[in-house]
Chain A
Amino acid sequence: QQQVKQSPQSLIVQKGGISIINCAYENTAFDYFPWYQQFPGKGPALLIAIRPDVSEKKEGRFTISFNKSAKQFSLHIMDSQPGDSATYFCAARGTNAGKSTFGDGTTLTVKP
């Protein structure tokens, strides 16, 4: 049973546009929601993360929106650049640095 559903599977955006990736979770025990960026041949790198007591978090061009009642969260990349082309994974984790549940990933392509 997949506990974190991510969409879309792939996304093509023009340079300067807004990229939006969505995730939905089921387990209400999750209390930490990170987004990872992964380039080919590299390990995932933490991009931004949020906890359920906050509805929005912004770091530079990256924003997480969190809807606790709907059990959904999304990543917005403003002014998307070709260098943002990568695979993005959302994840959800409970307390005590335990198991993370990952979404299936979104391959983002930003066209020049």
Chain B
Amino acid sequence: DTEVTQTPKHLVMGMTNKKSLKCEQHMGHRAMYWYKQKAKKPPELMFVYSYEKLSINESVPSRFSPECPNSSLLNLHLHALQPEDSALYLCASTDMGTDTQYFGPGTRLTVL
């Protein structure tokens, strides 16, 4: 199973809402990532978890809060977002043995 799954596929939220994005992989990868991607732009790294510990935070605003409950799951908690946060949010995991990175299909987030 070489798949990273993400839920939901689409999310529309108001600026006062609290929501969460979920990511799951069962490939045994111990590095997991959150990226943000705007239209026609490359993925922009937000967070990296290595062995369930946050190893990289690319100065992301605190309205985005990552969580790694176990080695297969990665969550991104959203609160008080701004319309400019509307984007495709991608989760990824890396096989540290081969450096191969697998991306999920993404969650299309719209902030009204």
Contact = CB atoms under 8 A, between A and B. Distances in A.
A49 B103 contact: no
A76 interface: no
A89 B108 CA distance: 20
Interface in A54-112: 87, 89, 93, 96-100, 102-105, 107
B42 A42 contact: no
B56 A34 contact: no
Interface stretch (B11-19, B68-76, B93-101): B93-101
A64 to B, nearest CB: 14
A44 B56 contact: no
Interface size class of B (residues with CB under 8 A): 20 to 34
Contacts of A18: none
B106 interface: yes
Given A32-B99, A42-B105, A43-B105, A97 B56 contact: no
Contact of B90 (A34, A43, A96): A43
B50 A97 contact: yes
B31 interface: yes
B41 A97 contact: no
B106 A43 contact: yes
Interface residues of A, number: 23
A101 to B, nearest CB: 9
A43 B41 contact: no
Interface in B38-71: 40-43, 45, 48, 50, 55-56, 58
Contact of A105 (B41, B96, B102): B41
A97 B42 contact: no
B99 A93 contact: yes
Interface of B: 4, 31, 40-43, 45, 48, 50, 55-56, 58, 90, 92, 94, 96, 99-106, 108
Interface of A: 32, 34, 36, 41-46, 49, 87, 89, 93, 96-100, 102-105, 107
Given A97-B31, A107-B40, 12 more contacts: A32-B99, A42-B106, A43-B105, A44-B43, A44-B90, A44-B103, A49-B99, A97-B48, A97-B101, A99-B48, A99-B56, A105-B40
